[in-house]
Amino acid sequence: MSDVTCSVDGCNGKVSCRGMCNRHYQRWYRAGGSELAAIQKAKNAAAICMVGGCAEHAGSSGMCRRHYNAKYLAVNRDHILSDMKVRSHAYYLAHRDEVLTRTRQYAADHRPDVRRRAREHYYRFQEREQTRSANWRRENPERYRAQYTNYAKQHPQYRALLTRRRKARMRGNGVFEVTVRDLEHCLDRYDHRCAYCGCLLNDSFDWDHIVPIARGGSHSIGNLAPACISCNRSKWSLTVTEWKMRDARRARALRSTKGVR
């Protein structure tokens, strides 16, 4: 039997069953070439997914395509993810410029969504992200220093804010999370004007701690107010009441001096 070739014209494969090789026999069987195949085909057509509550047609392993795929993904999750990472990284390396252009364009077009998802991801995996950032800063000190310097030049008020946060932490006054979004909302609340003199703020302004850190004030969004450079430097480490009283005394002294003259 093993020396007999397939009865299908042009095929030289060895006979497996009914005078055909295994490949042609499987095709014949799936096409309903026998009564047994027809019965099995009818059974498959009437079969319902074995997953409770699902009325879809059953295919492999007695499940519909959706539930079968879900089970396959659950069983082979680690292998699939590792394979996807390898292929994604290979694609990124081969099309780096194109991928970066698309990513930047999407981020520019959907900035609020991108920032929201980034915040949610950070707070969901906060410990892991902090550890990853610390490791990256330790392994790339020069790149980190260059990025920090560039950011500080573009956002001088945020650099000063970070310095004051460090001072508040060292004094034990209390340090709370202050995000860029919190600062933007605070600016909107003051209508982008100085909290003390009311002048319109430009790109050069300071974030003032209403109760100074030197006087026990905490680093929190409730203790921060936008101030022009003149007001912030004049107020310095005084409370608002002390500062206004000092300026009132100074104004009275100036008026009396002018009157003497």
Q: Where are the domains of the chain?
A: 32-75, 155-250
Q: Which of 67, 70, 91 is nearest to 80 (CA)?
A: 70
Q: Residue 142 is encoded by which pair of tokens?
A: 């020069």
Secondary structure class of 202 (helix, strand, coil): coil
Q: Residue 191 is encoded by which pair of tokens?
A: 């209508």
Give residue-wise pLDDT tens across range 123-140: 899 889 889 989 998 999
Give residue-wise pLDDT tens across range 137-178: 899 999 988 888 887 777 776 777 777 777 787 778 888 878
Band (pLDDT 50/70/90 cuts) for residue 37 is low
**Is residue 209 within 8 Å of residue 223, measured between CB atoms?**
yes
Q: Residue 166 is encoded by which pair of tokens?
A: 């460090």
C-alpha 200 chain-centroid distance: 34
Secondary structure class of 138 (helix, strand, coil): helix
Q: Tell me, what's the pLDDT at 250?
A: 64
User: Taking the alpha carbons of 228, 230, 169, 225 in that order, is the dihedral positive or negative?
Assistant: negative
CA distance 191 to 175: 26
Angstrom distances, CA of residue 17 to CA of 21, 28, 29, 75, 256: 7, 11, 11, 35, 120
Q: Is the pLDDT score of 1 beyond 50? A: no
User: Taking the alpha carbons of 73, 76, 82, 83 in that order, is the dihedral positive or negative?
Assistant: negative
**Is residue 22 within 8 Å of residue 13, measured between CB atoms?**
yes
Q: Residue 159 is encoded by which pair of tokens?
A: 């650099």
State whether CATH 1.10.30.50 applies to domain 155-250: yes
Average pLDDT over residues 198-206: 85
